[in-house]
Structure formats: structure tokens, C-alpha cells
Structure 1
Amino acid sequence: MIALAPTLYLFGAFMLSLLGVFLYAIWRGDEEAEELWWWAAVFATAGASALCYAFRNEVEWLSIIFGNALTLWACGLLWTGILVFVGEPVRPLLALLGGVIWAAGLWRADIHFRISEVSAISAIYEVAAAVQLFRYNRIGGQRLVVSRVTAWIIALQAGFEIALAIAAPFLAVDETSFLTSPYLKYRFLELSGFIAVLGFLLATLSKERLAKRREVAAMIDPLTGLPNRRAFERAVERAKRSAPAPSTAVLVFDLDNFKYINDRFGHAEGDRVLAVFGATATRNTRSSDMLARIGGEEFVAILSPADRTSALAIAERIRSAFIHDAAHLADGAATVSVGVTVLEDATPDLAAMTRVADDALYRAKAEGRNRVIFAGAQRRGDAGILSVTAR
């Protein structure tokens, strides 16, 4: 029985090191996922801690001082990796503080208080890590399921550590029988299960976030930073399943003389004109509105709620602001034409509304460009352009 604890901890050190190498290898394959480097360090540090525990029979102070300090540093690194994952500033001094305080003097307490102190400090780091993950559950408007699961697993472990910190003074352990105590065996099994599940969840969490980032990137126009046609089409599909809005407006924009700008001033200048328009339109729409580049020099905005007055005001504000913002580009040749339509008291058919707004846009082009044309407000059952108003 005496040899059981060292054997268990040697096996634990081996498994933890493998997990660390596994996470490090994933990080090397995708160094954008910086959190994986920190989490690889977590398991490498925990493996070194288990190695110290394995030699408790030969060098007792090695496991008591350094084994526990490394355990606390592993918890601090776990919290740091979570901070990196969620995009919060790293706090290395706080991550190291628990192990430093332990090595500075807490290890001198008797065995019961040592167990209590290590459990309490571990719980602080785990609670902090779980809180960060609970707060972070969205990427590009989509929930990361694994972040919630990981947060709950870490929170449950923190709860166990808190209970252990409270119960430690009453445990039937002492210095001489510690290696053969049931506490050590069950504690090892509990930690092994937690660490194995945690390693799997952390790798999955980083992989899922990467997949969400790529999915979001596929929906973004890289030049303007706006949603692209694919994102707009998804918004159209979502609108079909949504409850009717009080009123919805669709604005279709087309940059005037864009081919001339590209031919006369070069495609780099044309790209700058597109980027300026994207920034101008974003600045003059609400955060609740959707603005997308749906191809070439064409953009579309979905405003909800919006009536005729507010839709025309926004369209005119964008048109005039763009002239000012792009005045230094292409010798001031950059202007925009806008088609506007509004649907009231019905579930919006955004595809049909876009076609109506497109018709108004073509009218704006035909009447001389650089203007807003309104295709009259529509209600349930209406079709086509009811009226056209130039602004």
C-alpha cells in the first residue's frame, strides 16, 4: 500500500504531460489560438506538481513546498488562459501570487490547514475562471455551448475545493499515514477525472471558437468590414421566421460612376471609396440596423423599426455625409444613389422589398444619380411601387 501513492502520482505526471504536449501541438498548428499555449503550460505545470508528490517518501519538503506551489501556479495559469481566451488583459502577477504566498510560508502549517489553504486558493482561481467563461458565451452573435459546459465543470470543481477547505480540519489524516490514507486515494481519483475532462473541454472550446471565428469571417466583407451577401441572405431567412415588426425599411445604395473611378484613378482608389462609404454608412445607422455589402459597389441596409420619415432621413444623411467624407478621393467624383422602401404592419419579405428598393434605385440613376428615391410605403397585400418621390 505504501508504494501506491508514488505510483499513482507518477502515472498522473505522465498523463498530465501528455495532455500538455497534446495542447501544445494543437497550438503549434494554429498559433492564433494563444490560449492553447497557456493551457498546455497548465498541464505541464500540473505534471511537474504530480512528479513532486511522487517523491514525497524520499524528499518530503519537495512535495509539500514545490508540489503544492506548482498546483497553485497551474490553477493561476488556467485562469490566465481563460483571460486570453475571452480577450481580457493578462495578470501574470496575480496568476503567480497563490503559489508565491504558499512557498513564502503557508506550507509551515499542519497538514489539515495545508489541505485547507491549497483548496481555498485553488477555488479562488477556479471561481475567477468560471466567472469569465460564464460572461463569455457569444461569438458573432452565436452561443458557444462548450464555454458554458466548461464553466460549469470548473465551477463544480471550485465548489468541491471550497467544501474541502471547510472540511479539511476534520479529516482523519496525519503526517505519518498520509500516503496510505483513503483521502489521498479519493482525492487523486477526483482530480484525475476533473483534469481529464478539463483537458478535453479546453481543446474542444478552442476548436469551437476557431470554427465560429471562421464562420463569422466568411460572413464579413474584408474590405469594408460589413456583412456580405451571404450574411444578408441569412438575415432575409431569419426575417421570414420572425414576428411582424411595426415597420421595416430597406435602403439599397449604389456608388455612382464607380467604373469610371476604377478606370480613371485605379482599383486601389476604388477600394478606398468603398471603405469610406462603409464607414460613413455605419456611422449614420443604428447598431440595431443591418448594413451589408451585397456585391461590387452595391450595399443594402435593413432598418427596423423605421417609417418613411426616419428611413428617408437616414438615407439622405448617408448620401450627404458620403459626399463630404469622400471629397478627397477620386477628385470628388464619388457620390451615391439610394432606393428606399418601407413595409408597414406585416412580416417583412426582405427579398421582395429589396427588389422594390432596387427599382427605386434604378430610377435614381436614370434621373441623374446622387439622389434618394422613395418607393412608397407598402402594407399587407400591396405590390409594386406605389409612389416615387425624389429627394
Structure 2
Amino acid sequence: MIELAPTLFLFGAFMLSLLGVFLYAIWRGDEEAQELWWWSAVFATAGAAALTYAFRNEAEWLSIIFGNALNMWSCGLLWTGVVVFVEKPVRLPLALLGGAIWIAGLWQADLNMRIAETAAISAVYEAAAAWELFRYNQIREQRLVSSRVTAWIIALQAALDFALAVAAPFLVVDNESFLTSPYLKARFLELSGFVAILGFLVATLSKERLASRREVAALIDPLTGLPNRRAFDRAVERARRGATPRATAVLVFDLDNFKFINDRFGHAVGDRVLAAFGAAASRSIRANDLLARIGGEEFVAILSPADRTSALAIAERIRAAFVREAKHLADGAATVSVGVTVIEGETPDLAAMTRVADDALYRAKAEGRNRVIFAGEQHEQTSLASRA
């Protein structure tokens, strides 16, 4: 007659290895998702542990020493995969520490203590993984639904393992009947459910984050690292739907002599000029302001809240910072003209404000470039000429 426990463990080893291969194949299709490599290693390692458990009758020492060590290492690798996912540095020695401590001597305890020790070490890694995902959800602006679900599932497993670590000394188990004990069957079923759900969740988690990354990449100008025209249009649409009266300023920038710079010095220098403006302008605006490249050498900033004084001050700060940043590029020919408009006490129409600021920009170009011009509500215009 085939013994039930070895058969279950062989089946578990097969399923875990299959999940590992599945995640590895997904990773090979998108090697940017490095966490998938670590998570595939989780299931491969857990599958190796289950394989040693299947041969407990033939080699008990293999199961007790190395099977449990592999199981703890799989939990450490789970935590490491989460660390990679949340973009923190890998600390592999910590991931392997639990299994190393086990091999160093913890395995020599009696059966009940071994159960308590393995559950406690696994719970520590699981709790750490859940904590990293919970923190990721709190600090990220774009929160992934699957990361919250994964965090709660791992946290639940950690709680179960902590409870088992506390209850283990009171379990009625012994070495002779361990493979046929109700505890082992219940534990196998519980862990099988957990790893099956976990395999699905981590694959979904990586896929969802990849989609989020690609969406973000589609909204970013690769040369300057700023939001692009698509991102700006989305911001305008969001502002239109949720508009409330607020002092708001729109600044429109156009790099002077840009065609001449490209023709005279080459597009590589032109690209460096664009990047220099993006860097200078990004350092000069506030954290809650929006700066975007809307095409070619044109940029726009939305400042909120901002009155006339602060808007002109920021526009002039950006102009001066760019002149300093680009003074060694294109023989100092790189400057910027700026058009500014502000609305106070009314619901801002960003699209209309951009058109008004654009008109002021053309006035700045006509008056000699490298200056800031303000267009007020009655089209009053003020010029801040360059002193450089």
C-alpha cells in the first residue's frame, strides 16, 4: 500500500517545482521584473524541501536537517523577492540566516521544539515580507491592489506560523507516528493552499506593477525625465473635472535659438541643452508644482497655489538657473523666454490660461528673448528683461 504522506509530499514537490518553472518562464519573458527570479527560487527551494520530506522514512536526517533548512531558505527568499520588488537592496546573508542557524544546531531539539523553531523562523521572514509590502502601499502614490492582497495573505500566514510556534510544545506528536499524524495532514493542506494562492498573487503582482511602470513610462519624456504632453493633458483634464477656486499660475517656456543650436552644434548638443533646462527648472519649482515638456523645446509649469509675485519669482529663478546651467553649452547661446499668467479667486481653466501665457511668451520672443513677461487678467503685461 502506498503511504499517504510520502505521496502527498511528492505531489507537493512536483507542484512547487512547476510553480517555480512557471515564474522563471515569466521572468525570462521580462527580465526587468527581477523579483520574479527570486520568487521562482522560492518555489524551487520549497519543492526541494518537500522532496526530502517524501523520503523521511529512508533518510530521516536528510528530512530533518536539510528539508527544514530548505523550507526556511524558501521563506528567506520570499522576503528577498519582496525586498527586490519594493526596490530595496538585497541582503542575502539575512535571507539565508534562518536555515544556517537551523543546520548549526537547532535541528537537534526534540520534535515539538523543532516544529516550534521552524514555524517561528518562517513567521519572522513572512512578517518581514508582509511589512515591506504594507510600507510600499503607504508610500507609493500608485498603489497596486494585488500588493495589498499579497501583503494580507502573507501576514495571515505569518500569524498562523507564530501561533503554531506558541502551540507546538503542546502538540501530541512523536517521531514514530509523525507521518500519519493529523497535524502533518492539516499542516500540509494549509501550506498547499498558501503556496497555491501565493504563486498566483506574486505573478499577478509583477504583471500589475509592470503595467504600471509602462503606463508611467508612457507619461515621461525620456530625454529630460519630465512629464510629457500626454501627462500634461491628463493633469489639465483632472483639474477641469475637480476644479475649485484657487490661485494658480501657468508658465510657458520656449528655449531661444534652439533651431540655430541644433543646426550649428548638432542634435547631441541640442539634447544636452534640453536636459540642462529640465534639470535647472526641476530644481527651481516646488514639490507640488507640475513641470512638463509639451513638445520640442517647449515646456510648461503649473504652480498652485501661486500669486503674481511668486509666479514671477519662480519664472525668473528658472530663467536665471538655466542660463547658468547652459553657459558652457553652444557657446552660451542657450537662453529661455517665459510667458506667465495667474488667476486668483476663480476656478482655473488651465487650457485657457496656457493660451494666455503662450501669447505672453511670443511677446517675450518679440522683445528680444531671454526674459519673462507677465500677462494679467486684463492682458496687462510686465517684462523682466535679462540682466545676464
| TM-score normalised to structure 2 length | 0.97
2:152 paired with 1:160: no
The residue matched to 1:390 in structure 2 has which SS?
A: strand
Task: Note the alpha carbon deviations across 1:210-269, whole angstroms, 9 max, x for none.
Answer: 111111111000111100000001111111233525311000000111111111111111
Alignment partner, residue 57 of structure 2 = 57
- 1:140/1:273 Cα in 2 relative to 1: closer, same or farther (>3 Å)? farther
**Alignment partner of 1:389 is 2:382:** yes
Q: Unaligned regions of 5+ residues in structure 2, if any?
A: none
Structure 1 counterpart of 2:340? 340
- With 220-229 and 244-253 compared, the bigger mean Cα shift is at 244-253
1:39-58, aligned counterparts within 5 Å?
Answer: 39-58=39-58
In the alignment, residue 146 of structure 1 is paired with which amino acid?
Answer: S
Partner of 2:302: 302
Paired with 1:245 and 1:335, the residues of 2 have a C-alpha distance of 34
Q: CA deviation at 1:288?
A: 1.1
Structure 1 length-normalised TM = 0.96
Q: State the SS of the aligned residue for 2:300.
A: strand
Structure 1 residue runs of 5 or longer lacking an equivalent are 379-384
- Equivalent residue runs for 1:1-391 within 5 Å: 3-137=3-137, 141-242=141-242, 244=244, 246-376=246-376, 378=377, 385-391=378-384
| Cα deviation, residue 386, structure 1 | 3.0
Task: Confirm or deny: 8 A CA contact 2:246 2:348 kept in the other structure.
Answer: no
Please say if residues 82 and 129 of structure 1, whose CA atoms lie closer than 8 Å, have aligned partners that are also in contact. Answer: yes
Q: Distance in 2 between matches of 1:339 and 1:95?
A: 55
- 1:45 and 1:71 in contact (8 A); partners too: yes
Tell me the distance in 2 between the aligned counterparts of 1:182 and 1:284: 67
Aligned residue pairs total 384
CA contact (8 A) 1:140 1:216 kept: no
SS in 2 for 1:345: coil
Matching residue's letter, 1:8 = L
Identity %: 79
Cα distance in 2 for residues equivalent to 1:373 and 1:195: 63
Cα distance in 1 for partners of 2:140, 2:332 equals: 36
Supply the AA of the counterpart residue of 1:158: A
Q: Which amino acid counterpart does residue 388 of structure 1 have in structure 2?
A: Q
The separation in 2 between residues aligned to 1:181 and 1:346, in whole angstroms, is 74
SS of 1:339's equivalent?
A: strand
Using the alignment, how far apart are the partners of 2:72 and 2:140 within structure 1? 34
Q: Cα deviations across residues 185-226 of structure 1 (Å, max 9, x unaligned)?
A: 110000000000001111111111111111111100011110
The change in CA–CA distance for 1:137 and 1:318 in structure 2 (over 3 A counts) is same
Q: Which moved more, 1:40-49 or 1:242-251?
A: 242-251
SS at match of 1:155: helix
Root-mean-square deviation (CA), in Å? 1.3
Q: Which residue of 2 aligns with 1:382?
A: none
